[in-house]
């Protein structure tokens, strides 16, 4: 089932005729729950992409209804899903196959909705002979045939520049959702302090703290190797404060756990963490469960695997994405969703 509106187009004789503009939503297996929430809020039924994995690991897709002439929104984070037996590379290939099938089926526009843009952290060369894999993923999606990308809280804003002018990128953010949560849950704390986990997140933390009406501090961090971080000291006063560490991604949890330990060692009364993307790979659950964090709040851009500690709370970003999808479909302003404040870098 699809959402239909009529728009005037010109026929060969330049006379206006009516064409049905249809919205359809399909979801990959890495974002099934989130895609279902978006479709429900839009009032459309999900279009079944007929996904299956052959015994040799190849991915297959065949849409079970006609998508000809439709604006098809393909919801798929480039993330693993343990429940569905997918790793990040499976999810990426699945997304590419869904886009290719949609183009071959004559969809009018194919919009990739990737709340979590996998490989986004590989956005530059930090050492000789390294790839810029985020750029490669952008090229793959563009080659497959996406007409537009909708994503959330990219690790670095320049990833938008890896796409050509033919593929606009709508970069949304979950920060209003997270600031509202902190205001509702901790807003009465007179000694609330927002913490930037490193210098790269200072602007994000400044905006977050301004929305909350609280001061902010900075953690000094060094990264001697990939997925390894060493926290030095806190720049700012956190003694007897309730600290909230703000980041875009929580992956292995090692950096966050070390940051929480440092903040507590500096005399904080309690420490919380909020982030958009809860990847939680490897031994993240065990690491975070053993940390002094009172609560960790993330969104559902990445499916939460089983075994999560009770300290992890998941908020849905479906409302933000639904409103954005609706505005893309109707060609309305997307920046108005955040009053123009969705660029945080």
Residues designated catalytic? 221
Helix (H, G, I), strand (E, B) or coil at 222: strand
DSSP 47-115: PP---EE-TTS-EE---SS--TTEEEEEE--SS-BGGGTB-HHHHHHHHHHHHHHHHHTT-SEEEEEES
Q: Per this entry, what is the length of the chain? A: 345
DSSP 253-316: SHHHHHHHHHHHHTT-SEEEEEEEEE---TTHHHHHHTSS-SEEEEEBTSPPPTT--TTEEEE-
Alpha-carbon span 159 to 72, nearest angstrom: 23
Alpha-carbon span 98 to 289, nearest angstrom: 37
Which run of H or E residues covers position 329?
helix 318-329
CB 122 within 8 A of CB 134: yes
Alpha-carbon span 230 to 219, nearest angstrom: 10
Q: Give the Cβ contact number of residue 239 at 10 Å.
A: 11
């Amino acid at each position: 089932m699809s959402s239909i509106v009529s728009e005037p187009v010109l026929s060969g004789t330049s006379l206006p005729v009516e064409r049905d503009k249809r919205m359809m939503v399909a979801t990959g297996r890495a974002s099934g729950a989130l895609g279902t929430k978006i479709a429900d809020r839009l009032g459309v039924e999900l279009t079944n992409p007929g996904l299956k994995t052959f015994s040799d690991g190849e991915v297959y897709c065949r849409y079970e209804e006609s998508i000809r002439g439709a604006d098809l929104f393909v919801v798929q984070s480039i993330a693993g899903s343990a429940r569905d037996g997918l790793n990040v590379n499976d999810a990426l290939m699945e997304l590419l196959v869904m886009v290719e099938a949609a183009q071959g089926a004559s969809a009018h526009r194919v919009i990739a909705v990737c709340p979590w843009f996998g490989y986004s952290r590989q956005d530059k060369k930090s050492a000789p002979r390294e790839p810029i894999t985020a750029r490669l993923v952008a090229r793959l999606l563009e080659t497959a045939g996406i007409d537009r990308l909708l994503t959330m809280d990219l690790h670095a804003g320049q990833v938008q520049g890896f796409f050509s002018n033919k593929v606009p990128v709508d970069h949304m953010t979950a920060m209003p959702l997270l600031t509202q949560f902190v205001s509702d849950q901790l807003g009465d704390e007179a000694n609330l302090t927002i913490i930037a986990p490193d210098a790269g997140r200072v602007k994000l933390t400044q905006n977050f703290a301004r929305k909350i009406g609280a001061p902010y501090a900075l953690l000094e961090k060094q990264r001697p190797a990939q997925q390894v971080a060493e926290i030095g000291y806190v720049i700012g006063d956190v003694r007897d404060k309730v600290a909230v560490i703000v980041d875009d991604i929580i992956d292995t949890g090692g950096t966050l756990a070390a940051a929480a330990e440092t903040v507590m060692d500096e005399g904080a009364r309690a420490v919380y963490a909020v982030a958009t993307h809860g990847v939680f790979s490897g031994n993240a659950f065990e690491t975070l469960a053993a940390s002094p964090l009172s609560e960790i709040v993330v969104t559902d851009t990445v499916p939460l695997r089983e075994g999560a500690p009770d300290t992890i709370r998941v908020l849905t970003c479906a409302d933000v994405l639904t409103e954005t999808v609706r505005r893309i479909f109707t060609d309305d302003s997307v920046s108005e969703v955040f009053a123009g404040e969705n660029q945080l870098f």
